[in-house]
Amino acid sequence: MNYGIITETTNKSSLPEDNMIITIINIVNIINQFIVAGTKPVITLYASQLGATPSEIGLLVSVFAFLPAFLAVHIGKWIDKYGVRRLVAFGGTGIVVSLIVPILMPNLITFIFSQALMGIAFTCQVVALQKRVGNNTDNVDKRIAMFGLYSSLGAMLGPLVSTFIYEKAGFSLSYAANGFAALIAVGTIYAVKKGIWEVSKEAQAPKFADHENKSVWSMLRNRELRNAVITSGLAISSKEIFSAYFPLLGEKLGMTPTTIGLILSIMGGAAMIIRFGQHPLVQHFGRGHVLTWSLYLSGLIYILTANLSAVLVIAVLVTVLGASLGLGQPLSLAYAIQVSPLERRGEVLGMRITFNRVSQTLIPALFGGIGGVAGLTIIFVASGVMLLVGGFMTRPKIDPQKVGA
């Protein structure tokens, strides 16, 4: 079957309006990433303090992705049907609720509920924002690079601020500060008219042949899209595992919560800085090779980190890890947007999120169970092996310039 791509006609939207909505998207994106990245180490540390086992913490981490794993494609359809702003606002409200509940009733059950609700709400927002960012595919790589840059900024600041508040003022105040940030994001959504949020129906999107009558999953016959989706899942699940279990490893090595948060923030900072080198890397090596070697390098660092105790050396390795894993998401996202038809772009992005969430659900839960039996070190070693195998299986078999085109 022919899965060729038809070139898209650029949407002639108003430049001031377009700049305004992109600014608002970046604000909401920063706050979302700040909250998700910042609350994860806090809830992990607090659950451990309350007596949660590694297996229970693995469940707590994986539940964030469990329901979105089943709902992401449907969420994409809802975005295509009901519009971008409605789903962004719905997701923002859900995040606020997910932060309030654990403050009122801090126990493992409410933590699990909070993470499940936050996962659904975050998915609604991120898929909708990604679709709106990809409205004009003529400069999609630049837009996605900037979107990823702001994501990394939020991911860098979140752990640093949230763990500092947690260490100095406790769990409730840390979550309350994140709840206040979430309220700001919800208010920002309504700063522009609804119509500016929506993707123009006039644009002619790139299409897969016969896509109208086919399941969105049939598009995975395209090898490059399939590899990009798999790489995305491996990268995000590896970040989840590191965010969840590095605090426990750091605690075992005698690090304070602030030091742990600082190292995680350095990791986020590296993922942000690498965005500036993303385009030259793709132009020189090809998108497929960059994705594959990012997995190889990440896998090696995972294995090394598990067998080191020097904080400075670990910090340097984590910096490189942040950069290598940080390339996976924007590159796979740019490709997914480029090859997806406009009227089904939400579905395609939802499919990508489904792979991400399945990885986030199954892999941390599996490795948490392994860690409960064999200890923390095996979690990092197993994750490293998984990344190395993933890199080998998704290595490009065509001209790298075609992958990077």
Residue at 40: amino acid letter: K
Distance, in Å, from the CA atom of 354 to the CA atom of 206, rounded to the nearest integer, reads 22
Which whole number is the average pLDDT over 205-229?
Answer: 63
What is the rounded distance in angstroms from the CA atom of residue 396 to the CA atom of residue 35?
Answer: 35
The DSSP code for 218 is G
| The pLDDT of residue 2 | 39
Query: What is the number of other CB atoms lying within 10 angstroms of the CB of residue 284?
Result: 12
- What pLDDT is attached to residue 16? 59
Comparing 355 with 43, which gets the higher pLDDT?
A: 43
Query: Which stretch of 32-46, 222-236, 383-397 has the lowest confidence by average pLDDT?
Result: 222-236
In the predicted model, is pLDDT for residue 61 greater than 80? no
Residue 3 lies in a domain: no
Cα 11 to Cα 22: distance, rounded to the nearest angstrom:
15
Mean pLDDT of all residues in 225-248: 80
Residue 6 domain flag = no
Domain that holds residue 384: 15-190+220-404
Query: Domain holding 28: CATH number?
Result: 1.20.1250.20
Question: Considering the chain, what percentage of its residues have pLDDT values greater than 70?
Answer: 82
* Residue 389 maps to a domain: yes
Here the tokens at position 399 are: 């001209």
pLDDT band at 403 (very low <50, low <70, confident <90, very high): very low
Please state, in angstroms and rounded to a whole number, the distance separating the CA atoms of residues 303 and 340: 36
Q: Does 2 map to a domain?
A: no
Is 5 within a domain? no
Neighbour count for residue 366 (Cβ, 10 Å): 15
CA 139/CA 130 separation, integer angstroms? 14
In the chain, the number of structural domains is: 1
Domain-located, residue 326: yes
| Model confidence at 1: pLDDT above 50 | no
Take residue 101 and report the two structure tokens written for it. Answer: 């509940």
Q: Please give the DSSP secondary-structure letter assigned to residue 345.
A: H
Stretch 247-255: mean pLDDT: 85
For tokens 């933590």, the residue is 111
Give domain status of residue 197, yes or no. Answer: no
**Average of pLDDT values for 34-59?**
84
Percent of the chain with pLDDT over 90: 11
Collect contacts of 132-136 with beta carbons under 8 A, ≥24 apart. Answer: 132/21, 132/25, 132/84, 132/197, 132/198, 132/199, 133/22, 133/25, 134/337, 134/345, 135/11, 135/13, 135/18, 135/199, 135/200, 135/203, 136/10, 136/11, 136/13, 136/203
Tell me the per-residue pLDDT of 256-289, one tens digit each, with 9 for 90 and over: 888 888 888 888 788 878 878 877 887 788 777 8
Specify if 351 maps to a domain: yes
pLDDT in tens, 119-141: 999 988 988 888 887 765 556 66
Res. 7: pLDDT tops 80: no
Q: Who wins on pLDDT, 307 or 6? A: 307
Per-residue pLDDT tens over the stretch 174-199: 999 999 999 999 888 888 777 677 76
